[in-house]
Amino acid sequence: MTPPATVAVDVGGTKIRAGSVIDGRLAHVRSVPTPATTGARAVLDTIAEVVAAVIAETSGSGGDESGSGGAESASRGIEYGGGIAGPGGAGSGCDFAWRIGVGSAGVIDPATGVVVSATDSLAGWAGTELTAELTARTGLPVRAVNDVHAHALGEAVAGASRDARSSLLVAAGTGIGGGFITDGRLLTGRNSAAGHIGHVPSAAAAGLACPCGGTGHVEAIASGPAILDTYRRLASEFVEPGSPTSTPAHATPPSSNPATAPWNTRELAAAASAGDALALRAFDAGARALGSALGGIVNVLSPDLVVIGGGLAEMDTSWWSPLRATFAAELIPAASGTPLVKAELGQDAALIGAAGLWNDEPGETH
């Protein structure tokens, strides 16, 4: 019998990553820029090219881990539970029965493989028959889910929630997304839209515009860009102590002048680490709002644990401590003690989750 192998693909607004997953090992990871502004056809063509490259590389090397030109970096292997012993060296890549698993930006209907909706980060992506178009280009069977849903599946298959019966994955970065998994099954909900954690109402975000078009959602104060906005608001409100115009708005001045002020979330994080008072306040405000929202969600879903991924999870205690404090404070007694842990797989989670779409166990998403 021809052994199965999966090309896992993560389609984002800035890059497309792909790698082969054989017997639970991720290898031959490649990354290319997403042609995000030229329409769905260009994105689909690029995915098909990357898939072909991964298959060719895997076939050419018999599944070992030697990277070659064009690969993103040294290929790596990640083993996850249930795999057959051995790194897939039983035959050449030509002997595999290939299939494709995709985690993609946008709301994806796993049953039809259609992009239900998408933001402007991928022009023309909404309405794309993702799985059908990729099958037409590659001749291979394709399954697809939303990229954050794939991230949640990946952590549940091989990461921080691998031993949990139920888990809530929260991706906190440019946006705030998530996925709830119970007994290996991803909750996708009506219109495949489950998991939009960023759009829970938050008192701390009252009046703030949210990227979804609404106002007062937690993403409007807790996402990376929102935290940067908070910092800028705080800095603009700062009044020099002793000014005759008003009571000082802050006890300590912003450490940066406008010419050198942080202009992205990464720089703001560095400022916070260096003790910038306003940067610390901005991260604190975002973390408190998110912790409170997650506490409320856990009171509803009661997962075994909450896994935090995304760029903000890389922050130090200036973000984690207020997150944990408000999370714990929000929990009802019956849910107290619910663990809040950091994700383990980084950006490989979406690839492992996308490959996991082909784990043909009862309850797996389809």
Binding site for Zn ion (CB under 5 A): 199, 210, 212, 214, 217
The least CB distance from residue 215 to Zn ion, in Å, is 8
C-beta of 182 vs 202, nearer to Zn ion:
202
The least CB distance from residue 310 to Zn ion, in Å, is 16
Angle at 177 between CA 146 and CA 164, to 5 degrees: 85
C-beta of 38 vs 215, nearer to Zn ion:
215
DSSP 294-317: HHHHHHHH--SEEEEESGGGG--H
C-beta of 209 vs 277, nearer to Zn ion:
209
Tokens standing for 177? 């997304």
Please tell me the distance from the alpha carbon of residue 164 to that of residue 10, in angstroms, as a whole number: 24
How many residues would you count in the chain?
366
Q: Widest CA span of the chain, in angstroms?
A: 83
Tokens standing for 60? 């050419």
Please tell me the distance from the alpha carbon of residue 321 to that of residue 288, in angstroms, as a whole number: 9
The least CB distance from residue 260 to Zn ion, in Å, is 32
Give the phi and the psi of residue 305 in degrees, each rounded to 5: -160, 165
C-beta of 226 vs 305, nearer to Zn ion:
226
C-beta of 3 vs 211, nearer to Zn ion:
211
The least CB distance from residue 329 to Zn ion, in Å, is 24
Please name the residue that has the structure tokens 């644990």. 305
Please tell me the distance from the alpha carbon of residue 29 to that of residue 17, in angstroms, as a whole number: 7
The least CB distance from residue 46 to Zn ion, in Å, is 30
C-beta of 87 vs 211, nearer to Zn ion:
211
The least CB distance from residue 147 to Zn ion, in Å, is 18
Tokens standing for 347? 């950006």
